[in-house]
Amino acid sequence: MLSPAILLPALRDAVVKLDPRQLVRNPVIFVTEVVAALVTVLFARDLVLGAEDTVFSGQIAAWLWFTVLFATFAEAVAEGRGRAQADSLKRTKSELTARRLLPDGSTESIPAASLSVGDEVLVAAGELIPGDGEVIEGVATVNESAITGESAPVIRESGGDRSAVTGGTEVLSDEIRVRITVAPGSSFVDRMIALIEGAQRQKTPNEIALSILLSGLTLIFLFVCTAIWGLAAYSGAVISVTVLAALLVTLIPTTIGGLLSAIGIAGMDRLVRFNVIATSGRAVEAAGDVDTLLLDKTGTITFGNRMASDFAAAPGVSIPELAEAALLASLSDETPEGRSIVALATGDFGIALPQVTPDAVIAFSAETRLSGVDMGERRLRKGAVDAVLAFARLTAATAPAEFSRAVDLIARSGGTPLAVADGKRLLGVIHLKDVVKPGIKERFAALRAMGIRTVMVTGDNPVTAAAIASEAGVDDFLASATPEDKLAYIRREQQGGRLIAMCGDGTNDAPALAQADVGVAMQTGTQAAREAANMVDLDSSPTKLIEIVEIGKQLLMTRGSLTTFSIANDVAKYFAIIPALFIAAYPALGSLNIMGLASPRSAILSAVIFNALIIVALIPLALKGVAYRPAGAASLLRRNLAIYGLGGLILPFAGIKLIDMAVSALNLV
Ligand SMILES: Nc1ncnc2c1ncn2[C@@H]1O[C@H](COP(=O)(O)OP(=O)(O)OP(=O)(O)O)[C@@H](O)[C@H]1O
Ligand SMILES: [K+]
Ligand SMILES: [Mg+2]
């Protein structure tokens, strides 16, 4: 975690970050730098004048600079760890070439960097996909290990929810036609690299609020120090500017000021290590407080490669007649469901592929929930049972009992029944099979233990939804949901003051993913879903939210704990330094020197040294995060207050005392 390969470049970066123009974004540390510069000037003056203060002001100046450097170092280390991960991504994305399709159907070879949005390219087995896009023709297996680290090939195909391809990944079999949807330079991998390197990191609203609080505290202590100076001058004691500067820096919250951005960067990094790319720090924080998790069914809870497996004919209809109608209705259906129906009818059921062109093609949409063709007199439709019944002017009550039984049997087994009709004539039902991803039930139980309610929202019918919901162990489900329904559900929950996470993969999930506080898209999903979400799970695991929530909670806890620690620390230092300041003027204050520090100067220098060293000492904790255990918010708060509040109060007494002993033993001042 802290190898020399990261620490050495971080040291160099830490020096670069001393640039005041950069540092001004961190007010506490910026004030420290200004003060360090001031004391350095005073030291130079003492040096020229040969004043007796030279040794003291020189040491104070040095330690103030170390304080600033340790703070910039913390941030540099956090960024350096991300950069190491980004470097391996950069290697995958080296020089790519594209075979761009020309209007006459031939192809030209061009560098991928000169592709533009809307271009169409061909990619065959053994070639690298030149840019982010959508498969518009064909099916291929793709090795996406370059970005997911997972070597198992995935299927990418046109039409359905698995059509998105990522530049830099390799086609293993077959040939696909890809429409480029993202300009080179802002591709998924490019954005991943920028995010991991922290180049695009923006402060979250919580961080900004905390920064304002810390700046406020800094201002107050600036005031306090000025008042002390005036008070001392009034009472005849002389307090040097060097001592005042030291006082100010030890009192302002330098510890949390120095570690704040490292904590945020480390949180994003921890997500990357769990194969989750977050495009928003705000979402990571929101994840820590999520109340409800919404999951789409097909492709999220299930694998999503729904395959037609059987036909059940309505009374008075033969199986070949149903199979042929289903085949015709699917001829122009480019979705995986449509293609699997063609495969089943022409394969197992031996129907010859008809050489006909439909008069009109009715493409599938998540709103209508049906698809089909018009052909002469025939109006062939297939789709969700209620949608097809409505099309055939039937209802659940007026549909033949045998048909309803077949539908029910399929739905109860967790399959998706697709009804087939020709105009008003109901022909039967197709059984689409899908498989629930393994190990999901236990993981949902873990989410429940964290106090998170899981709700499955699906476009599928209520009976299938109920079967899959019970197999997967979700708390609740919403069936027959259109994209608008999913969106409305989230809005309603949010209006109730709840924070919502949504996991989805399809274009029909995109609005919901964008509306959710935490939107997690499956890497296997469509481009639209990945664009709308604020996180992408490279493993496409719907229960990854467990880790995401833990990391979010850990981030919030780490920041809270270190803020508590930092402020408690500063309070303790007050007692170490103030007596030292006034002891010369008021010897009676000697009794306040409860710590028995060697001399006023040694006390002040020790406090400054402690103040600097505590930042370095806490870097590992800031990066690793405070340990998270599932427990109630109140008991966590109590525990953290005890450890970091009390610890923060006590530690400086011991630390400053020890440093004071060393300083006086070495005769430093
Ligand atoms: N190619 C298709 N042609 C006709 N009807 C379809 C097709 N694909 C799916 N359907 C029907 O439309 C319904 C809604 O589909 P939609 O994609 O909105 O949701 P889903 O994939 O079933 O569920 P989820 O929202 O969980 O992914 C499906 O349940 C199915 O009954
Ligand atoms: K401080
Ligand atoms: Mg889906």
Ramachandran sector of residue 642 (left: φ over 0; alpha: ψ -120 to 50; beta: rest): alpha
Q: Does residue 363 have its Cβ closer than 6 Å to ligand 1?
A: no
Catalytic (active-site) positions: 296
Give this complex's ipTM. 0.95
CA of 245 to the centre of ligand 2 (A): 12
d(CA 554, CA 622): 10
Contact of 553 with 447, CB cutoff 8 Å? no
pLDDT confidence of residue 151? 66
Q: If you take atom 21 of ligand 1, which residue's CA is the nearest one? A: 298
Token couple for 153 = 């090939």
Show the tokens assigned to 201: 């990191």
Give the Cβ contact number of residue 484 at 10 Å: 13
Tell me the backbone φ, ψ of residue 302, rounded to 5 degrees.
-105, 170
Cα separation, 545 vs 294, whole angstroms: 11
pTM for the model stands at 0.80
pLDDT at position 191 is 75
Instruction: Tell me 26's DSSP state.
Output: S
339 pocket-lining for ligand 1 (C-beta < 6 Å): no
Cα→Cα distances 402→37, 256, 407, Å? 88, 70, 9
Ligand 3 mean position, distance from CA 301 (Å): 9
Ligand 1 probe mutation, 307, 382, 418, 478, most atoms within 8 A of CB: 418
Which regions of the chain are under pLDDT 70?
A: 1-2, 88-89, 91-94, 149-151, 196, 198-201, 583-594, 630-633
Q: What is the pLDDT of residue 543?
A: 85
**CA–centroid distance for 545 within its chain:** 10
Q: Which of 391, 356, 360 is nearest to 374 (CA)?
A: 360
Cα separations (Å) of 342 from 308, 332, 335, 350, 378?
9, 10, 11, 11, 18
Q: What are the two backbone dihedrals, phi and then psi, of residue 491, each rounded to the nearest 5 degrees?
A: -60, -40
Atom of ligand 1 nearest to the CA of 504: 27
- Of all ligands present, the nearest one to the C-alpha of 529 is 3
- What is the per-residue pLDDT for 176? 95
Contacts of 397 (CB under 8 A, 6+ apart): none
- Interval between CA 137 and ligand 2 midpoint (Å): 62
